[in-house]
Structure 1
Amino acid sequence: MEVTLKGKPTELEGKQVVVGEKAPEFKLNNLEDKEISLSSLKGQPVVLSIVPDINTSVCHIQTKRFNQEAANLEGVHLMTISSNTKEQQANWCAAEGVGMEMLHDPEKVFGKAYGLYIPEMNFLARTIIVIDAEGIVRYQEIVPEVAEEPNYEAALNFVKSL
């Protein structure tokens, strides 16, 4: 699949997850160095907000907005995944007063497993993924232009319908 960054086309590495199929297992650490795996989240829907770099303006907006919306969602695991380091994520959260679950993927293991790694730019594509309580991908938006925001309403309305 191809996405663009400020109009410049680039290819994603790997096979993207497919709506209706089982989501690939992942294991990433949160800011407390606790390993979070997809299998440990079964039983409730999971919303993954994937951002390229938490320290950029659009990623900042996306993460803040999802953090605010999470307060209104019950029974849902909401987390942000970026390729930033733990320290970069922790510094951003502290500066912004954000307490949501942040998972770091500096080695791009998650990004490659989900087909969201952009090798040319060495970061993850901006994406929203919703996984149901049984581990099936039910919604995915890979934003075609990395510098643009995702469709928050569509993703959040979908989660509310589960």
Structure 2
Amino acid sequence: MVIKVRKARSEKEAAMREKMIPELYANEYNSFIGFEIMELSSTYSKARIKADSRLHNTYGSIHGGALLSFVDAMAGATASMSGYYATTVSANLNFLLPAVNTEYIYCECMKLKTGKHILVFDIRVTDDEGNLLDSGEFSFFASKVPVLGDNLKFGK
């Protein structure tokens, strides 16, 4: 399912979205967890996943590993919107409340800093009521592989 996002601020942002969003949806894991992009830019992004029972842990809430990988995928996409594919350097997610009694889990990524090679994002994970479930900080390394380039493979 594609949710309508706000109009791109520039032609470059529109072109990167046009490339990134299909790549995110084509990923089998993202498809499995029900990844839905609500907003995607280099400074702010938002996505959601359905609180599907296939993602539950033994205790009936969404498994922390599923939440961490969801956030990592969204934050990585946000970092890549800066122009170069990015890879995770560090990931810190504080699990504050269990993800229960909600239809969707939302992830918001807000840019804190962009350096020459490192990008840092503030992360907020909420439920349908806006309750803060998880918070964290993710750092990414911007590769030399441009998002709008012809070559999608790292190391080439």
TM-score for the superposition, normalised by structure 2: 0.27
Using CA pairs below 8 Å that are at least 6 residues apart, which structure has the higher relative contact order? Answer: 1
Question: Of the two, which has the highest radius of gyration?
Answer: 2
Higher strand share: 2
TM-score for the superposition, normalised by structure 1: 0.26
